[in-house]
Structure 1
């Protein structure tokens, strides 16, 4: 049995709508990179994230570090065409905001102008708080991202769990800093479950978990992970809700076999010299 689609509101959801959901109904979020997938996600999700994960799952890059602003703009514009109700947030890619608030504003303004995004997302805590405050003061809503920040994976020592033991103080300081800077929500990625639950209780803004805690105010997954389309690796925090990659492999194999055996195209797939459908 399929899930009941979320009711469509009279307008597109805004960052303030999701901020108001703190402590209420969980916020449902998935990534999307194309118009057809956006249309599906829009019927069920509150927030659709055009993530820089696009570099790995669609472009075959080894990490998110090679993603450009141009790539995010292209995919963001495509996703926006498929949305009627969900808030669209677009990731700011590596190198587009770290140099300072002015650089971040230029990149964020371009992304919002050329995609129709309702907000941007950037990674980093205490160090990025001044940039977040700068953007918010100039009319750009920001979703923050702390804990495991994939763009900084080389300095974090890999894709390790964050916030264990003494490291909890660092993650807590990051989360508090972005909330105080004006972020309307914060992604907690691969943060130890007790810390993620505690931060959700402490922060005044919604927390969106990915490998964090069911106590978070919402959850996000990369759609290619949860559908079984991206199979290069599978993080522990991913639950597969389908195995579309395996189904696609079977379909392509069946097509190839039919072509080689001349079973396709069959009579119903070709056209007579006269009459019949065009």
Structure 2
């Protein structure tokens, strides 16, 4: 049974790791393709981006916009010159710097209008130069090499183990079960003896060892009764439930808490540890052998199967 559980666990882990690795590979491949496309587009000049549109805009600028702008500037300059002459009493009160100022403004306006397209292209050229020389990032290799990161993630996933635990319901032949009032950690309340599986230890031997440490009893021929499991902080915790009615030894309590015999129905009335009501239903029912606890807003809720 333990070998089957271990193989199922490893198979599930392999499937999940494969899916996660595939998703990461596809994600980084898509990112690299998109970054490469953006890098190519950002590094293009207007001529390289679409030569046809570029030539069309250039022709419109030279044959339509520049002539219209020239007419407007001519009108403005003529109007300003006439105004200046009339205001200066037909040059009787004329100052030399006024004519030079008018000539300078006319020169600047004509130069800007006739070279607007070239100035705009110069701005694009400067932007392209800055982009292409930004530490060689865009014009060079834009691919994100995630192989090392993915390898580390896969290694971490492979090292992640299932949280292996167990509980054992021990019954005597008088209708009583062995209860443990657990007090030494966050999992408190009335429960059954149990514990953790150590490294390289099978479930049954681990269960016999832990029960002896907590109760002083050595159980014999335990039977698998069901599974109780949940996820928390990326770890899948699985409690394997056992039942036994054969044991030897003298009952004694341990630092885990007081152990004692109690009728099953009376046990149900005590302040049970979290999830014990589901454990009892699994161990009592022949139709229910698994409980999965899922987290909701008010806490964990159990689903029986």
TM range (shorter): under 0.3
Question: Which structure features the higher share of helix residues?
Answer: 2
Normalised by the size of structure 1, how large is the TM-score?
A: 0.20
Report the TM-score when normalising by structure 2.
0.19
